[in-house]
Amino acid sequence: MQISGFPEKKTMNREEEMKHGFIKVAAGTPDIIVADCRKNGEAIVALARKMAREGAKILVFPELCITGYTCQDLFLQRKLIDSAWETLLTIAEKTRRLDALLFVGLPLRHKGKLYNTAAALCHGQILGLVPKTYLPNYNEFYEQRHFAGAEEFFDYIQIGDEEVPFGTDLLFICETVPELVVGAEICEDLWVPSPPSIRHATAGARIIVNLSASDDLVGKDAYRRNLISGQSARLVCGYVYATAGEGESTQDLVFGGQNLICENGVIQAEDERFENGFVTADIDIQRLSDERQRLTTYPAEDRDSHQEVPFSLKVTETALTRVFAPKPFVPADKSEREKRCEEILNIQSMGLKKRMRHVKSESAVVGLSGGLDSTLALLVMARTFDMLGLDKSRILCVTMPCFGTTDRTYQNACTLSKKIGATLREIPIQAAVLQHFKDIGQDPDKKDVTYENSQARERTQILMDLANQENAILVGTGDLSELALGWATYNGDHMSMYGVNVSVPKTLVRHLVRYYADTCGDKELSAVLLDILDTPVSPELLPPEDGEIAQKTEDLVGPYELHDFFLYYMLRAGYGPAKIYRIACRTFRRTYDPETIYKWLRTFCWRFFSQQFKRSCLPDGPKVGSVALSPRGDLRMPSDASPAMWMEELDVIRPAAGNKA
């Protein structure tokens, strides 16, 4: 190990590269027989083997599953308690070959008291025993009749020659994957005002397991779902919840086996109720660690109150079953997507409304190209003017045809302006741009960056000056995706007096415009919006070919659906290039081959770093989602930061020619 100086450059370990912090976990409900420990042990072992064959490394079973939760006064019988312990030893022995950490529930006698406990097993060894802290003794529950509570309790139990920790505050820490830290609580522990899982998480547990026997009542499943997902969000953890099901006594209660796995507020897996089985999910412990680090209010780890219990697992590739949304900024559910669109339009409009009031302006200017971004900006402006009670004729839409303008985009801009009720002004800029070329000695036949940017800057100058003439505010149109890529002309379309789209990614822009088209109630307006949606994205700075757009943005910088995917997982999730490449290949395997994904990911990383100088001086604009690039808010990044480490990581994972996902 190199201790001082510069580390040697090395290639990424393939095994570590592929793991990326994903740990597969499982929650299962075995078929039990009340009070038959031997049979229950066999069922637990059989189910554990099935879980392990699915690649799960953390296996969680229900509360008191070795005996059954509904044994009632049979818990006072020595025969049952002794059999449960013997069965635990048998389970440990029979799961010795499983490369997994198991949690199983049983009653345990210690120093004259009986405890409801969760036993942690790994490679045939009993690592620790966690007693239940809070015992319900209300309604249908009478646990205090049989068990003792164990608030912040710690002791040891002698098992052969080993002293095994027995206490509420145990942390099970994987020696081979140090970020894999597991804490355990039992059923009612979660339902109290201050659950033990809070202590476990603040001590460093990234995964909380809960061994439960929660009976089913009308509506309780929704409450339980919200409780567990909410706790995983509050603690920024993975939460694995296994509960009792069929096989428990139905004398007075029914148990539905609602096994749940959540990560940071999101339900990753849920079992069918009233059918015993198991669910698995991939928990991203690296993302949980990074998210906690990002949240300055999340407390630093303090393990002094906990006993650390080491265990070891083989570091192998986790075969992913997790689904990554191909459009993470856009809800897949139609009703949720419509609600999101309405909310975003309101946020954008409220932002512009406040700014207009502040600068005492009752007019606004926008450059209307007939493209998606300027269309969305105009729709937001129209809503803002309605909020302010202003006549929309005070919206000045300016179309500035030049070398690359096509008839389709020009006509759409004119029609859109008319349908909104705005004032349209046409100012051709060819002559002004050609004069500028003459002034600076630019050959008009040389279609280089100067040729393109001169047009964008001429348009911005016109818009700024018109805004001054009209005592108006110039509304910017650029979106989040373009800002991430730097696909804007510095001091051209990059600049405005207020940018309403600055935190709306391109994939979401499309849905906002479509939502407006679907809900506006005007057939002609809807028709022009749908045609704009069908028009290729283009800055239209190069002459058209046969009347059609010659310069298509996605041909030049790559598909926006890929770039928005890269952007979300880089900034919101904190993933590195190799991890993003892996999940992108999985997510888009039916759309893009690995070489294409690699090409555009490399483009994204390079452009994201090289174009920060444009984002460092962005105009104001409202944040609408969890990812934003404002230099005053979410992204404080130096303009001259080096992308070298990101590019080197991409060099290591370069796909072989012809490789398929």
Average pLDDT, the chain: 93
What are the residue ranges spanned by the domains of the chain? Answer: 14-311, 334-652
CATH number for the domain formed by residue range(s) 14-311: 3.60.110.10
Range list of H helices, 333-448: 334-358, 372-388, 407-420, 430-440
Q: What are phi and psi for residue 582, nearest 5 degrees?
A: -60, -50
Average pLDDT over residues 253-261: 96
- Clarify whether 187 is annotated catalytic: yes
Do residues 272 and 91 make contact, with C-beta atoms less than 8 angstroms apart?
Answer: no
Q: In this predicted structure, what is the pLDDT of residue 39? A: 98
pLDDT in tens, 566-616: 999 999 999 999 999 999 999 999 999 999 999 999 999 999 999 999 999
Average pLDDT over residues 355-364: 97
Examine the pLDDT at 657 and tell me if it is beyond 70: no
On the question of pLDDT at 454 being above 70, the answer is yes
Summarize pLDDT for 105-123 with one digit per residue, the tens: 999 999 999 999 999 999 9
Q: For residue range 210-239, list pLDDT tens digits in order.
A: 999 999 999 999 999 999 999 999 999 999
Predicted confidence at residue 211, as pLDDT, reads 98
Least confident of 410-419, 537-546, 615-624: 537-546
Q: Kindly name the residue from 24, 132, 392, 614 that is annotated as catalytic.
A: 132
Does the pLDDT of residue 18 top 50, yes or no?
Answer: no
**Is 599 annotated in the active site?**
no
Q: Is 39 designated active site?
A: no
**Helix, strand, coil shares of the chain as percentages rounded to 5?**
40, 20, 40
Q: Dump pLDDT digits (tens) for 385-401.
A: 999 999 999 999 999 99
543: confidence class by pLDDT, cuts 50, 70, 90: confident
Radius of gyration, alpha carbons of the chain = 31
Q: Is the pLDDT of residue 541 over 80?
A: no
Give the end-to-end CA distance of the chain in Å, rounded to a whole number: 36
pLDDT at 656: 65
Sheet of 154-159, strands arranged across: 154-159, 162-167, 125-131, 113-122, 101-110, 58-60, 22-28, 278-284
Q: Tell me, what's the pLDDT at 448?
A: 94
Q: What is the pLDDT of residue 1?
A: 31
What is the reported pLDDT for 376?
Answer: 98
| 87: pLDDT strictly greater than 70 | yes
Q: Which of 104-118, 146-160, 463-477 has the lowest mean pLDDT?
A: 146-160
pLDDT for the residue numbered 11: 43
Residue 147, pLDDT > 90, answer yes
Instruction: With 0.85 as the threshold, say if the pTM is over it.
Output: yes
Kindly state the helix (H) or strand (E) to which residue 291 belongs, with its residue range: helix 285-294
Per-residue buried b or exposed e for 425-451, using 16+ beta carbons within 10 Å of the residue's own CB = eeeebeebbeebbeeeebeeeeeeeeb
37, 187, 262, 397: the catalytic one is 187
Percentage of the chain modeled with pLDDT above 90: 89
Domain made up of 334-652: CATH architecture? 3-Layer(aba) Sandwich (3.40)
Cα-based torsion angle of the residue sequence 601, 10, 310, 242 in order, rounded to the nearest 10 degrees: 20
Out of 19, 37, 57, 63, pick the active-site residue: 63
Please report the pLDDT score of residue 16 as a whole number. Answer: 46
pLDDT of 151 reads 82
